Each structure stands twice: as structure tokens, then as C-alpha cells.
Copies of this chain bind each other. A is one copy, B any other.
Amino acid sequence: MNAASLEFIPVQGMPEFLAGDDLVEHLINGLCANTTTLSNGDVLVIAQKIVSKIEGRFINLNAVNISTKALELAAQCQKDPRLVELILQESTDVVRCVPGVLIVRHKLGLVMANAGIDQSNVPGDDIALLLPQNPDASAQHLAEAMQQRLGVSVAVLISDSFGRPFRNGVCGTCIGCFGLSSLYDLRGHVDREERPLAVTQLAIGDQLCATANLVCGESNAGIPAVVVRGLADDYLKQSLPASHLVRPVQEDLFQ
């Protein structure tokens, strides 16, 4: 690895996760099997799905009581009314509902399809998986457990795949962060001609999760964690949660 380079190392060979599993134990074993030793300043990016799984965020769709609103929307978007009810329960607003598509604002502020509820790689056709209740807290919990068990100070990001306005294809996006500046402020910096920069904030969390998501892969590769090695110290000095990446509705300029 080149001195100044940034490396994404997949943690391969991890098991299917179940509610209550000790993720830290599995990560330590997985890293060991990959002969990867965590160091201070490493960033561990974890797929949302396994955080949700170990936190037991499974819902049996047969136990969901369907509201009238969910029935109406389900007819519009042609989705399972039980799933639509769950999506509504997880959201504050419906952004778009057309055949095949239900985009909402999740209670965490995230604008996303299906409130991030997932049925792929989940055991059973009637089982759905919600986002972690508080992904920033999940990230902090994992970082603290790593510190305790391995004595190393790592940052933790939790990543999910998001569709995006104006752009085709999904991109990894940061929904949980501890130990680094999810959003890094450049105000006060200047360009090489000593002029203030037009760009003022870098979405560090999203920029790392984008590539980590690619390394994890969708479909059946099943790589749930990636170690990012070589991140500049500047971004590690301050811990800012991923909630800082969510732009408040009233400040959004693209609408």
C-alpha cells in the first residue's frame, strides 16, 4: 500500500447473521481469517443489513395491522399492503407513490425507497427487515466494543444503498457514523490563489460509504464489512453523527 493511499479491505467469509448475534466477535474472527489486523485510525464500514439483523429488526408481515391509508397507497404503488403499512409506520412523509415505487422520508430524515425496509437476503417471504432504530448509536456501540475488545480506536460507519434524484443507479450512503466527521467543514480554507472556497462542506461519510458499498457488493456476495485504511487524520479528529448529513427539509434547495 502506497503511503498516502486509501485502501478498502473487504472482510470476507462472514456467516449469515441472526438477531442477538455478537457482531464484534464475528468481525474479530472475520478479520483474523482475512489476516487483517485493525489499527488506530482505521474505519470499519458495516452494511446496514447486518446491523439491523443483529439488532433483531425483523418484522413478520402477517402481524401487521393494515390501515386504510396503507391500503390506498398499496393500490397506487402495487406493493404488498402489509409492507406499505410498515413503510408508513417508519416514515414522516410520502415523497412519491407510483406503480412500483414508494419513496418516503424516514423518521431518521432519510429520503429513500420503502423506508429502507428490505426483504432480500432475509429468511422467509413474510419477513421484512427495518433500518436500525438509531444507526449513529449503533455505530458508537460498535466502535466502543472494538476499543474494549481489541484496544484500538476505529471509526465506524453504517452504509445503505440509496437511489438518488437526477441520477441512475444506487450508491452507498452513510446512515450511521461514530469516530469521524461525517460532514467536514472547509469554511475558512482558501484555494491556491488565496480565495475562499466555493465548496464549504464535504460529505466524508457518504464519500466513504459509496465505495465501501461497491466493495461489499449487492446480490449474493455477502460481504457485510469493509475496513478503510489510510483516511487523513483531519477527518478523524472530530466525531460527527450521520444525522448531520441529512439536510433539513426547509433548507433543501433542489425542490
Q: Mark A residues whose CB is within 8 Å of B.
A: 1-2, 4-10, 12, 16, 34, 36, 95-96, 98, 101, 103, 110-111, 114, 118-123, 161, 163-173, 183-184, 186, 189-193, 195, 197-199, 201-204, 206-208, 210-211, 213-215, 217-220, 222, 232, 244-247, 252-255
Give CA–CA (A206, B170) in the complex, Å. Answer: 9
Which residue of the partner chain, among B9, B207, B218, B252, contacts A202 with CB atoms under 8 Å? B218
| Residue pair A167, B204 in contact (C-beta under 8 Å) | no
Count of chain copies: 2
| Residue pair B186, A219 in contact (C-beta under 8 Å) | yes
| Residue pair A198, B118 in contact (C-beta under 8 Å) | yes
Give CA–CA (A228, B184) in the complex, Å. Answer: 23
Contacts of A114 in B (CB 8 A): 198
Q: List 29 A-B contacts (CB under 8 A).
A: A4-B9, A5-B9, A6-B211, A6-B215, A8-B8, A96-B255, A103-B253, A111-B165, A120-B191, A120-B198, A121-B193, A122-B193, A164-B254, A165-B247, A165-B252, A166-B247, A166-B252, A168-B246, A169-B183, A171-B203, A171-B206, A186-B219, A191-B220, A192-B220, A207-B213, A208-B210, A210-B210, A210-B211, A211-B211
Give CA–CA (A214, B195) in the complex, Å. Answer: 21
Contacts of A16 in B (CB 8 A): 192
Contacts A7-B6, A198-B119: A203 and B167 contacting too (C-beta < 8 A)?
A: yes
Between A166, A197, A198, the greatest number of chain B beta carbons within 10 A of the residue's beta carbon is seen for A166
Give CA–CA (A114, B198) in the complex, Å. Answer: 11
Contacts of A203 in B (CB 8 A): 164, 167-171
| Residue pair A1, B6 in contact (C-beta under 8 Å) | no
Contacts of A207 in B (CB 8 A): 171-172, 210-211, 213-214
Contacts A5-B7, A5-B8, A189-B218: A244 and B168 contacting too (C-beta < 8 A)?
A: yes
